[in-house]
Amino acid sequence: MSTTFQIDTSTSRANPTPAPMKRLTVPKIRARKDDGSTEEPLVMLTAYTARQAQLLDRHCDMLLVGDSLGQVIYGLPSTVPVTLEMMANHAAAVVRGSYHAVVIVDMPFGSYESSKEQAFESAARLLKESGAAAVKLEGGAQMAETVRFLIERGIPVMGHVGLTPQAVNVLGGYGARGRSDAEADKIVSDAQALDEAGAFAIVVEGVVEPIAIAVTKAVSAPTIGIGASAKCDGQVLVTDDMLGMFERVPRFVKKYADVAELIDRTVSTYAEEVRSRSFPGSDQTYQPKS
């Protein structure tokens, strides 16, 4: 039994708490795909805070501290402005709030592309400051050497091919990738290069379904689909999207709830009670002892 920091919901404080099970490991995630197939698909969701991690942890194999926090948490127009400091701070919170899932942290734009050495320095900082188990970076064949360099130095790496949000300015938007034969072939070869470099899993995002299936068959590492195919070895979504926190989401997102509407109704009720002076009531105030 391991120990982690859990949020005491009665006090909102983080306290050392015995964890009810051992945390999954990167090798166990990698081993879920055996001889080209994954019997039980892997479950991954994004998490950005300790409390969110608490709620998601027991249901997920992996929690991704995605650079999507730039848009979801900070209201930025894309993931490009996200910094290492942002990622390290949020990843540390997610690690404190979880005990079961493997925590993976995105390497933000500009923190790994210029050299293998830069990538190692950035990745080492993220893991040391957060306690996360692995990093994720975008790019295919051009990043394979960097992926190998990191893994040889003790840093597990998750790859990411297809639609790569950090390259939105080059791609010209967030449209599906792989519609041309040339692009489809490149996505498959990119995934194979990452697989050969040692990536323990590969996110396949925003590609036409036959390409996602081809990638899954072509690599030994598990593929994690997002806007790809149910035939991938696992799936990931941005948690706030699938919970219905935003009105507009990508077409590949299934809204499993409408939490935004619930929040709106709840806050409306609170505002009405404050304005009518019905809150706080006797149950929420301290009265003199008799």
Q: What is the pLDDT of residues 100-121, one digit of tens each?
A: 999 999 999 999 999 999 999 9
Q: What is the total residue count of the chain?
A: 290
Residues 6+ apart with CB under 8 A from 63: 44, 45, 46, 47, 53, 56, 57, 94, 98, 101, 102, 103, 104
Q: How far apart are CA 239 and CA 50, in angstroms?
A: 14
205 counts as catalytic: yes
The annotation status of 68 as a binding-site residue, yes or no, is yes
CA-wise closest residue to 46 among 241, 187, 218: 241
What pLDDT is recorded for position 29? 98
Please give the full DSSP string across 42-69, using - where no structure is assigned. EEEEE--SHHHHHHHHTT-SEEEE-TTH
Q: How far apart are CA 250 and CA 241, in angstroms?
A: 9
R_g of the chain computed on alpha carbons: 21
The annotation status of 152 as a binding-site residue, yes or no, is no
pLDDT, average across residues 189-217: 96
- 56-99 pLDDT, tens digit per residue, is 999 999 999 999 999 999 999 999 999 999 999 999 999 999 99
- 21-47 pLDDT, tens digit per residue, is 689 999 999 999 999 999 999 999 999
- Percent of the chain's residues with pLDDT above 90: 81
The annotation status of 138 as a binding-site residue, yes or no, is yes
The annotation status of 35 as a binding-site residue, yes or no, is no
Q: Which of 39, 145, 205, 273 is catalytic?
A: 205
pTM over the 0.95 mark = no
pLDDT at 285 over 70: yes
Q: How far apart are CA 209 and CA 214, in angstroms?
A: 9
Residues 6+ apart with CB under 8 A from 164: 138, 139, 171, 205
Q: How far apart are CA 32 and CA 41, in angstroms?
A: 8
Domain extents for the chain?
3-242
What pLDDT is recorded for position 162? 92
The annotation status of 67 as a binding-site residue, yes or no, is yes
Half-sphere exposure at residue 54, Cβ-oriented, CA atoms within 13 angstroms? 17
Whether domain 3-242 has CATH 3.20.20.60: the reply is yes
Q: How far apart are CA 178 and CA 191, in angstroms?
A: 13
| Inter-CA distances, 77 with 73, 85, 124, 184, Å | 11, 18, 27, 28
